[in-house]
Structure 1
Amino acid sequence: MRAALAAELNGIDCVSLGERPDPSLAEAQVLVRVRGAGVGPWDVGFLGGGFPGVALPFVPGQEIAGVVEAAADGTGFRPGERVYGSLFPAGGGFAELALAAAERLAPMPARAGFHEAAGLVIGAGTAHEGLVDRGRLQAGETVLITAAAGGVGSAAVQIAAAIGARPLAVASQDNHDYLRSLGASEVFDYHDADWVQRVRAATSGGVDLLFDGAGGQTRDQAIGAVRDGGRAMFIVLQGPPAQLERGITGEPFAARVARPRLEALSHLVDAGRLRAQIGAVLPLEQAREALNRVAGRHTRGKIVLDIGQ
C-alpha cells in the first residue's frame, strides 16, 4: 500500500511517500480502506518527537474515514460499511489501508462524506468532550472559545450552539463573519488590547466557561474573561497548566475518542447541528504540505487528505 511515512522523528521534512506492507488484521481490529484522513497539530507533535515510544517507520494520521475491508470476528463491522474513527496514538491514517481498534470506530454519519467525517473525529471529539462531559455546559450559559476558527474551535462553536448555550469566539478579524455563520453570538479579536474587558462587558461580569485551544498569552488573558467561580477547560497540547484564581475551577485534558463519542457526533451531524468545516482537501502526495499548513496554526477549519478515491 502507499503511505506517507517518516523514517525518523525529526520534523515534517522527514515525511515522504513510500510503500508499506498491507496491515495484518488482529483480534478486535478492523481493516479500513482509507478515503479521507484528518490532519491535526497532534500529527505535527508526533513527527517532532513529542510522543515517546513511537515505532519507526512511522505513518502519521490519527483520524480516518473509509470503507471496511475486513473485520475480526465479534467486532460488529462488515466489509463495505462506511466508518470513521480514531487511530490515536498508533497512527497509520496517511495510508491506503489502516488498522483500527473496533471500539474506536463508528458508522459514518448519513449526512457526511468521507472528507467531512474524517475532519470531525478528533477536532469535534475534543470539543464535545471538553464542553459536554468535562465543562458541563448547559443551555443558557455563556462559553468563550479561543482559537475558534480552527478545527476544534469550529466544532466547539457549533456544539455549544446546539446545546442552547451562548458561544463567544476569539479569532483574528478576517474570521469573524465565518464564526458568526457557525453560531457565535459575538466574536472578539485577540489583537485588540481591550478584548477581555469587552467580553466581560458583553456578559455582565464574565463567561461561565472558557474552552481554550490557543494556549500561551491568549489563554492567560482569556482566564480574565471568566466570572468568579466559573469553569475552564484547556486542551493539553497547548502547553503547561494555567494558573487559576477567583474560585475558577478547570483542568487540562486530552480527549479520548471512542464509539460513544463518535455516535454522539453522528447524531448532531444528522440532525443538521454540526458540520465539519473543511479548509482544504489535499492528495496523499501533498501530506507534507498539509502538515506545514497545520503547523502554521492559522488554518480555518480542517485540513484533510484525500486517499484512494
Structure 2
Amino acid sequence: MSVPEFMLAIDPDAPGGPEVLVPVERPVPVPGEDDVLIRVAAAGVNRPEVMQRRGLYPPPPGAPSILGMELSGTIVALGAHVPEEMLGQQVCALVSGGAYAQYAVAPFGQCLAVPQALTMIEAAAIPETLFTVWTNLFERAYAVEGDWLLVHGGTSGIGTMAISLGRLFGLTIIATAGSDEKCDAARRLGAAEAVNYKTEDFVERVKDITGGRGVDIVLDMIGGDYVARNLACLAEDGRHVSIAVQRGAEATVPLWEIMRRRLTMTGSTLRPRSTAFKSLVADELTRTVWPFVSEGKLKPVIDSVFPFADAAGAHRRMEGGEHIGKIVIEIAAA
C-alpha cells in the first residue's frame, strides 16, 4: 500500500481554545518494530485531550504532540515484528497520542480487530472507555455478578460504557447525571436508577434505592469533595475507584469509617501505563469482551460526529457538557 510522505494532523503550536485545532501538515510517522501504521478513519474525543489542548495535561514522554488517544482505521504498514497478514486489516487502537491525523502509529498489541457489527465511527469510540472501565471496574474493583455500582457522569463516554459493560456482566447500576433528560437517557441505556445530582442528594438516594445497604463499587471521575460522599454510599467491604479528578485532586476522607466498614480505595490512570500492560489488557478484552462486540451486544453510544476540519466543534461540544455518549471526529472514509 502506498503511503504518502506528509499528512494533515491536529498538532497545535501552543495551548488555547478550540480554535487552535486546525489541521496542519506533518510528516507521516514511521512504525517501530512492534508497531503498525494506520490510515485513520475516525478518532474518539476524550476529556484528557481537551485538557492537553488547554496546556493542562502534557502527553507522556515519547508520545506524539498530535492530539488523540483512540482511533479506527486500516493498517497500511508494518513494523518488522508484526505478522504480514495484518496488512490491510481494519482495527481500532488505544494510543498515547497521534489519533487526530490522517495516519497514526499504534503498538500492534494495543490493536483490536473491527468486527462487522461495528462501523468505523463506532470502533473509534471504544478503546479509551473500554480499556479504562475494564481495568478499573473489573481488575481494580473486582466487580462480580450481583454487585451494585454507582457511576458518576452516567451519560459521559465513560459512564455509558460502564452502564453497557456492567449490565453484560450482571451488575446493577445507579448513575448520576446533571439533568432529568440525562437521567432518562441513563435509564434507557440500562441503569436501574439515575439521580439528578443538581436537584437530589445522591448519597440519600443511593441509600433509598438500595434499602440502606449501599453499593458495592463507586466508579468516580469527580474527586474532591465527592470522595467522602462516595464512601458514605458504599456497603460494607465496598470499593471506591478514582479515575479522574474534575473537582480536585485532594480529598478529606473518614479513616475510621474506612476501617470500621473495611472499605477499599484505589484508582489508576491509563495513559502513562506501559505498552506491555496495555497489550495484556487488549488480550484480556479480546477474550472476555470482544465476543459481545462481535455479536452486536456491546456498542458505544455515539453522541455526534464532526468532520476533521471541525475538530474545534467536537471540543466545543464536549466542553458544553450536553453530550450523551461519545463524540467522534471523522478523518476519512474507511
TM-score relative to the length of structure 2? 0.85
Aligned residue identity for 1:253:
S
In the TM superposition, residue 158 of structure 1 has moved relative to its aligned partner by 1.1
Q: Distance in 2 between matches of 1:193 and 1:56?
A: 42
**Alignment match, 1:294:** 318
**Alignment match, 1:253:** 268
C-alpha RMSD over aligned residues? 2.2
Q: Are the structure 2 counterparts of residues 261 and 154 from structure 1 closer, same or farther at C-alpha, using a change threshold of 3 Å?
A: farther
Q: Are the structure 2 counterparts of residues 55 and 69 from structure 1 closer, same or farther at C-alpha, using a change threshold of 3 Å?
A: same
Whether 1:196 aligns to 2:203 is yes
Q: Distance in 1 between matches of 2:196 and 2:228?
A: 15
Say which SS state the counterpart of residue 19 (structure 1) adopts.
strand
Whether 1:154 aligns to 2:160 is yes
Q: Give 5+ residue unaligned stretches, structure 2.
A: 1-6
**Alignment match, 2:94:** 86
Match for 2:108 among 67, 87, 102? 102
Whether 1:282 aligns to 2:306 is yes
Q: Are the structure 2 counterparts of residues 194 and 47 from structure 1 closer, same or farther at C-alpha, using a change threshold of 3 Å?
A: closer
- Between the two proteins, what is the percent identity of the paired residues? 29
Aligned residue identity for 1:5:
D
Q: Distance in 2 between matches of 1:127 and 1:58?
A: 25
1:235-280 deviation line (CA, Å, top 9, x unaligned): 1353415444322211221135432254244223124432100100
**Alignment match, 2:131:** 125
Q: Are the structure 2 counterparts of residues 103 and 211 from structure 1 closer, same or farther at C-alpha, using a change threshold of 3 Å?
A: same
1:46-88 deviation line (CA, Å, top 9, x unaligned): 2222226678983101100000111113223522101111111
Q: Distance in 2 between matches of 1:20 and 1:148?
A: 37
Q: Distance in 2 between matches of 1:126 and 1:108?
A: 19
Aligned residue identity for 2:167:
A
Number of paired residues?
A: 307
Q: Contact conserved, 2:149 with 2:217, CA < 8 A, in 1?
A: yes
Q: Are the structure 2 counterparts of residues 158 and 186 from structure 1 closer, same or farther at C-alpha, using a change threshold of 3 Å?
A: same
Aligned residue identity for 1:249:
T
Q: Distance in 2 between matches of 1:157 and 1:237?
A: 20
Q: Distance in 1 between matches of 2:60 and 2:116?
A: 37
Aligned residue identity for 2:293:
V
Whether 1:210 aligns to 2:234 is no
**Alignment match, 1:230:** 238
Q: Are the structure 2 counterparts of residues 42 and 92 from structure 1 closer, same or farther at C-alpha, using a change threshold of 3 Å?
A: same
Q: Contact conserved, 1:150 with 1:302, CA < 8 A, in 2?
A: yes
Q: Distance in 1 between matches of 2:152 and 2:60?
A: 31
Aligned residue identity for 2:163:
V
1:23-61 deviation line (CA, Å, top 9, x unaligned): 223211100000010010011122222226678983101
Q: Contact conserved, 2:175 with 2:195, CA < 8 A, in 1?
A: yes
Q: Give 5+ residue unaligned stretches, structure 1.
A: none
Aligned residue identity for 2:76:
E
Q: Contact conserved, 1:3 with 1:20, CA < 8 A, in 2?
A: yes
Q: Distance in 2 between matches of 1:241 and 1:269?
A: 37
